[in-house]
Each structure stands twice: as structure tokens, then as C-alpha cells.
């Protein structure tokens, strides 16, 4: 029997503050370290900014991209809701002897005005809120953060493909599940499904560590190319270019895993 499409209220607090989603351990996995290097190179290429440019990393998590960009001599500010992740990011910055300004804030409450040459939001850190109007609110806040001509680089899962994949899996009674095992033998289960009613993915996360089990159910709104471009233009961006990944590959609605938008103010 399919699980009901109900997610935890303000699930990001339970996941990111309450320790259900172990991002610090995920970021340390060998394949993630290599992925981060490639992603930072892609971000540099897409933004095409000189060294010293001011970049806002929105939803920075444990600072994977903030620190990577700082190593390339960019002036980076990282914003995230999780004190847990930010403490880890600050500790890594000290260890790496890098200067990054990490700030705890709800992305809906950004108050910067015309300070940044670019903003980034990477690894599907967008579309978490129950109301789609909150996504528009965030995009408008980002636009206000940027200098004239500034760019917003947004990288999320491809909603068109993920919807088809998860709907077909449910129809065929072949649920999509993925387990992660970490060095301390803790386990994380990811079990996503698609909710047509909510317009996005509903994912059950189960984290087992030190004999204890933690669980949360998350929601992430699914965007197609057209719906994302529409949102960004409504937020005040004059031009939006779309790619299929951070390496500037062409976007294919039913083939690309990722949906990358570069929006120019």
C-alpha cells in the first residue's frame, strides 16, 4: 500500500537541526568530495566572475561550495537555517584557513540590498516551503541582493524527469529506495515518492545511529524548465538560461537529471 503524501511540518528543522539528515557525513563520502570539486569548477565557469567577486551561497549547508569558492579567491557569504551545519562549516573554514562569512537565517528573510555579484543555490536547496509563493518570495529577495547585472545560479533536480520516474515506479509497485552506510556504521534510508496533489517529491528519511532511529518526511517542489523560468522572471530577473547540469550540458526534459538556471538581473 502506498504511503500517504504527508510531510513533516517545517521538516527542514527536524532534518537539518534535529540530526535526521546527516549532511556532514554525506559530504565526507569519497564520491561527494570529488563531486564538490567538479561542481565548484562548473559554478566558476557558469558565473564567469573575476577573483574577489562577492558571492552569496544560499542554503550553504556544511559549506561545500562556499569553501571551494573561497579557495579560488572569491569573497563568499554562506547562509543556512541550520546551526548544526554552520558550526561544521566554520570549523572547516578555520582548519582550511579560509575566510567565509557564515550566517544563520531563513532564506525567506534575506535583507541584503545590491551587495553581491552573484548568488548560488546548489544541490536542490530550493522549493522546500508549503506555499509556492514562498519560493517566489525567496527569488525576489535574491534578486534584491544582487548588483545590476548580477547572476543567480540555481541547481535543482529536474522535476519533469523525477515526476515520470517516481510515478512509473509507484505504478509498477517498484518503490525507489536508497541506503547509505557511513564509516561509523550508521545508516540512512531515502525513500522518495511523487505527490501530484502537492506538486513535488515526498521523501521518507530514516537515520539509524548508535542503536537509535530518527525519521522525518520531507517535501520538495518539482519544477519543470518552463515553471522555473516563469518564477525567476516574475521575481525580477530579465534573462534566464537553462542547462542540464553544472557542466553546461544541454537540458533535455525527460533525460537530464538536473535543472540548472542562470538568471541575470
- The model's pTM is 0.96
- The confidence score (pLDDT) of residue 33 equals 86
Q: In this predicted structure, what is the pLDDT of residue 7?
A: 86
- Is a pLDDT exceeding 50 seen at residue 3? no
**How do residues 44-100 score in pLDDT, each as one tens digit?**
999 999 999 999 999 999 999 999 999 999 999 999 999 999 999 999 999 999 999
Model pLDDT for residues 210-265, shown as the tens digit of each residue = 999 999 999 999 999 999 999 999 999 999 999 999 999 999 999 999 999 999 99
**CA torsion, ordered 235, 237, 240, 243, to nearest 10 deg:** -60
DSSP string, 165-186: HHHHHHHTT----EEEE-TTS-
In whole angstroms, give the CA distance from residue 70 to residue 46: 16
CATH number of 26-157+223-264: 3.40.50.150
Q: Express each pLDDT in 188-205 by its tens digit.
A: 999 999 999 999 999 999
pLDDT of residue 29: 84
CA distances from 242 to 19, 60, 152 (A): 34, 22, 12
C-alpha 208/C-alpha 211 separation (Å) is 7
CA dihedral 227, 137, 261, 163 (to 10 degrees): -40
Domain layout of the chain by residue ranges: 26-157+223-264
Task: Name the nearest CA neighbour of 263 among 166, 142, 177, 179.
Answer: 142
Exposure of 13 by Cβ count < 10 A (0-12 exposed, 13-18 middle, 19+ buried)? Answer: middle
Amino acid at each position: 500500500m502506498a504511503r500517504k503524501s504527508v510531510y513533516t511540518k517545517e521538516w527542514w528543522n527536524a532534518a537539518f537541526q534535529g540530526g535526521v539528515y546527516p549532511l556532514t557525513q554525506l559530504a565526507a563520502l569519497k564520491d561527494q568530495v570529488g563531486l564538490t570539486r567538479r561542481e565548484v569548477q562548473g559554478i566558476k565557469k557558469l558565473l564567469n566572475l573575476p577573483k574577489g567577486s562577492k558571492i552569496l551561497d544560499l542554503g550553504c549547508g556544511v559549506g561545500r561550495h562556499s569553501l571551494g569558492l573561497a579557495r579560488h579567491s572569491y569573497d563568499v557569504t554562506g547562509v543556512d537555517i541550520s546551526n548544526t551545519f554552520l558550526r561544521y562549516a566554520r570549523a572547516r573554514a578555520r582548519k582550511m584557513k579560509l575566510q567565509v562569512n557564515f550566517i544563520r537565517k531563513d532564506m525567506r528573510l534575506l535583507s541584503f540590498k545590491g551587495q553581491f555579484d552573484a548568488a548560488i543555490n546548489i544541490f536542490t536547496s530550493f522549493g522546500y516551503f508549503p506555499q509556492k509563493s514562498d519560493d517566489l518570495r525567496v527569488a525576489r529577495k535574491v534578486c534584491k541582493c544582487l548588483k545590476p547585472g548580477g547572476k543567480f545560479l540555481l541547481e535543482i533536480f529536474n522535476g519533469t524527469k523525477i515526476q515520470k520516474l517516481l510515478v512509473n515506479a509507484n505504478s509498477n509497485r517498484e518503490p525507489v529506495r536508497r541506503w547509505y552506510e557511513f564509516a561509523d556504521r550508521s545508516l540512512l534510508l531515502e525513500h522518495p515518492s511523487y505527490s501530484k496533489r502537492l506538486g513535488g517529491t515526498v521523501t521518507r528519511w530514516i537515520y539509524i545511529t548508535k542503536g537509535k532511529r530518527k525519521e522525518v518526511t520531507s517535501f520538495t517542489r518539482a519544477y519543470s524548465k518552463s515553471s522555473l523560468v516563469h518564477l525567476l522572471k516574475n521575481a525580477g530577473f530579465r534573462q534566464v538560461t537553462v542547462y542540464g547540469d553544472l557542466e553546461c550540458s544541454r537540458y533535455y526534459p525527460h533525460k537530464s537529471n538536473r535543472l540548472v538556471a542562470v538568471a541575470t538581473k
